[in-house]
Chain A
Amino acid sequence: MDQILHEVAFFLKQMMLTMVPFILAAQGTMLAGRTGVFNVATEGIMLTTASVGFIIAFQSNSILLGMVAAMLVGGLFGLVMAYMTTSLKLNQFVIGLAFFFLGTGISTLIPKLIFGVSLVQPVIPTLQNLPIPLLSKIPFLGDIFFNQNILVYVSVLVSLLLYYFLYRTSFGLEMRSVGENPKMADSLGINVFRQRYVAIIIGCMLIGLAGVYLPMVYTGTFTEQITKGRGWLASALCFFGGWRPLPILYGSLFFAGIEVLAYRVQIGTSAIPYQFLIMLPYVATIVVMVLTFKRSTTPKFLGSNYDREKRTL
């Protein structure tokens, strides 16, 4: 009994740890999506910010500085993307894919330029757990939920804040209306372009934080393709979370559960070839998307740019 309880506790704790990049990346993608901009560069931005944030953290010996750098780089990506899609009205998917490609390239180029091709991997200290006083003393649950690294708390907080902001403030309502009907929003005096710029830039900063989390939590090193498709999974998460902050939060937990499960089974048994366990998150995502397709809602103007001078949208 103790054994099982111990395993359950470990599983849940790992899940909380694993859900963070999903939450942050998906909320970032969702925010831009709510104004009608479908950011398909999430994976590329995560890779670049993981790489740059890791290097800054390593060089400066400061995890915090690494996070700030990652968010700034993410924001910079967002600014350029916002300019090209919203102001220049270039196709969002084309621009997104270009930035995905650019981000993937930069993520491996920069470490090679700075460290060269060396056999010794630079390592940074991983994020420490930050027990919350009192709450972390609750038996069983305390250690699972309140003895985690800071970004676990931050990611949950961000989700709640985004929910409050989007559904309980007028600025949030305006932002949502831009993604549903930009022409209508514009006629009501809402600045469509500013809303989109703000949403994309803040969204990309969150994606940047999601990216830098990966080298900071698991191994303390940056490896090529460290994201393993988490950016794409985050986009999928937006779809079956219906582009709403709270369902995305629950969805992230589910994703994290699958990832931890695949990992635990991989260690525990050799009955299933481990390659099939590696496939599990991606296959499960597709299956879940099939199962939830009827209920899924997307912002009406997701993926289309707004042109004031055009009569039809």
Chain B
Amino acid sequence: MSKANQTPENKFSVRKLLSHPVMSYLLAILAAFVASGIFIALMGYDPFKAFQTILVTSFRTPNGFIQTLLKWVPLTLLALAFTVPYATMKFNIGGEGQLLMGAIGATIAGILLKGLPPILMVPAVLLAGTLAGAIWGFIPGWLLYRYKINEILTTVLLNFVTFALVNYIATEVYPNPEVGHPTTIRIATEGWLPMLVDNPPLHSGLILMVMVAIGVYAFTNRSTRGYELVATGANPRAAGVFGINVPVMFMMGLVIGGALAGLAGGIEVAGIQHHLIEGMHSNFKILGIIIGLIAKGSSLAVPFVAFFIAVMEVGASAMQRTLNIPIEMVYIVEALILLFVLLVDVVRRK
């Protein structure tokens, strides 16, 4: 306190500048770019060219922009799959696995339900994906509810189970022998998502994602059940005293999270891949978690952060092609952005 009194004007202005959330994000991004820029320069590359490629590629060509939108869809859903359970202070690290379960569910539905008209088939495929993801979220949720088993471990361990399951389905159950890589046969064309733009292809999952994101925001911020969810995270004991069934809230968060990631998997299959392919999750890694954490768990901020990360991811592929800088560099930048966002908060608190 005494220090603040000595230089009131100085302290005040810095705090004011930092207090605006957008400002603190910009500062964190800038700091992350400077830190990683120094590293890029030390490695003998041109940092300015690198960052220019990372940030501009998405907006230079229609194809780049559509690639960005296509990445934006699953990234937003995966991040929401993290933030909904995070509202109860539970950590869903299993987004990858839940996405893959969604992809498995959608693929099986798309192969078995052959012959249905598209008006039924498309929702059925997406629903199968969502349900499969929800089941994969329910398992850790139930283990937490019934046995108090740490959800971080169960969700992440299920990821590894899913990786093997994908391989099994793609090589034993519905293998496509024409492809060298483990891949299933295609789902029926009736199950494909309708296109918004044909060339370059942009599927209608984009609209669905925006609707779901708005729905999640309305749920967590405007509904009673959502309020209970957030109240549980804020103070589980107080929530329990006020009659909220806290363990059920934990479980519900994880189930909704699983469903959202499963939907992302369903959209990937119905909109882009049209079959299950091993390693299809590798473009997303655990980016959903990072986006959710950068957004500080706010479902309102998630779509914006996810779009920014999608821009960076598309830019990073271009950077690897044109400048020979490994794509992993962008993960370092993203991790640094998260750390600096947290550090800016610390400075703000002081």
- B66 is an interface residue with CB less than 8 A from chain A: no
Asked if B153 is an interface residue, CB under 8 A from chain A, the answer is yes
B43 interface residue, CB < 8 Å from A? yes
- Are A289 and B153 in contact, with the CB atoms below 8 A? yes
Q: Is the CB of A101 within 8 A of B153?
A: no
Residue from the list A108, A109, A275, A285 in contact with B167, Cβ < 8 A:
A275
Decide if A95 touches B165 in the complex (CB within 8 Å). Answer: no
Given A232-B157, A286-B157, A293-B149: A97 touches B172 (CB 8 Å cut-off): no
Given contact pairs A290-B143, A290-B147, A113 touches B326 in the complex (Cβ within 8 A): yes
Contacts of A233 in B (CB 8 A): 157
CB pair B338–A232 under 8 Å, yes or no, is: no
Convert B315-350 into 0s and 1s, putting 1 for each residue whose CB lies closer than 8 angstroms to a CB of A. Answer: 000000000001011011011101100110110000
Question: In the complex the two chains form, is A108's CB within 8 Å of B328's CB?
Answer: yes
Instruction: Give the distance in Å from the alpha carbon of A106 to the alpha carbon of B338 in the complex.
Output: 15
At the interface with chain A, which of B127-135, B184-192, B285-293? Answer: B285-293
Contacts of B148 in A (CB 8 A): 293
Q: Name the one of B93, B159, B172, B338 contacting A98, with C-beta atoms under 8 angstroms.
A: B338
| Minimum Cβ distance to chain B for residue A218 (Å) | 18
Distance in Å: Cβ of B161 to nearest Cβ of chain A:
5
Give A239 to B159 CA distance when docked, in angstroms. Answer: 19
**A236 pairs with B339, CB closer than 8 A:** no
* Chain A CB within 8 A of B4 CB: no
Tell me whether B124 is interfacial, beta carbon within 8 Å: no
Q: B residues within 8 A CB of A286?
A: 143, 149, 154, 157-158
Q: Is B150 at the interface (CB under 8 A from chain A)? A: yes
Known contacts A275-B164, A282-B157, A286-B143, A112 near B149 by CB under 8 Å: no
| Interface magnitude class on chain B | 35 or more
- Cβ-based interface call for B168 (8 A): yes
Which listed residue, A94, A97, A104, A283, touches B93 by the CB 8 Å rule?
A97
* Residues A54-106 near B (CB distance < 8 A): 84, 88, 90, 93-95, 97-102, 104-106
Interface residues on A, range: 35 or more
8 residue pairs, one from A and one from B, having the closest CB atoms: A105-B331, A109-B328, A275-B168, A102-B335, A112-B326, A278-B164, A275-B164, A293-B147
In the complex, what residues of B have CB within 8 A of residue A102's CB?
A: 331-332, 335-336, 339
B25 is an interface residue with CB less than 8 A from chain A: no
What's the minimum C-beta distance from A225 to chain B, rounded to whole angstroms? 10
Is A229 located at the chain interface by the 8 A CB criterion? yes
List the B side residues contacting A108 at CB < 8 Å.
326, 328
21 contacts between A and B (CB under 8 A): A84-B339, A90-B342, A93-B91, A94-B342, A95-B342, A97-B290, A101-B331, A102-B331, A102-B336, A104-B285, A113-B43, A229-B157, A233-B157, A239-B150, A273-B172, A275-B167, A275-B172, A279-B161, A286-B149, A290-B143, A290-B149
Q: A93: which of B152, B154, B339, B345 is its contact (CB, 8 Å)?
A: B152
Q: A99 to B168, alpha carbons, bound, how many Å?
A: 32
Nearest B residue (CB) for A235? B153
Min distance, Cβ A43 to any Cβ of chain B, angstroms: 8
Docked Cα-Cα span, A93 to B342, in Å, equals 12
Residues of B within 8 A of A (CB): 43, 91, 93, 143, 147-150, 152-154, 156-161, 164-165, 167-168, 171-172, 285-286, 289-290, 293, 326, 328-329, 331-332, 334-336, 338-339, 342-343, 345-346
A32 located at the interface, meaning its Cβ lies under 8 Å from any Cβ of chain B in the complex: no
Tell me the smallest distance from the CB of B198 to a CB of chain A, in Å: 34
Contact string against B for A residues 257-288, beta-carbon threshold 8 Å, 1 for contact and 0 otherwise: 00000000000000001011011001101100
A101 B161 Cβ-Cβ under 8 A: no
What 1/0 flags go to A178-214 for Cβ under 8 Å of B?
0000000000000000000000000000000000000
Contacts of B152 in A (CB 8 A): 40, 93, 235
B residues near A98, Cβ cutoff 8 Å: 290, 293, 335, 338-339, 342
A sample of 14 more A-B contacts (CB under 8 A), given A95-B342, A279-B164, A286-B157, is: A88-B343, A90-B345, A93-B91, A93-B152, A97-B91, A98-B335, A98-B338, A99-B335, A101-B335, A229-B160, A279-B160, A282-B158, A282-B160, A286-B149
Interface presence of A228 (CB below 8 A): yes
Residues of A within 8 A of B149 (CB): 239, 286, 289-290, 293
Question: Nearest CB to that of B167 among chain A residues?
Answer: A275
Complex Cα distance, B143 from A289, in Å, reads 10
**Nearest CB in chain A: distance from B182 CB, A:** 10
Bound Cα distance from A239 to B157, whole angstroms: 14
A84 to B154, CA, bound (A): 26
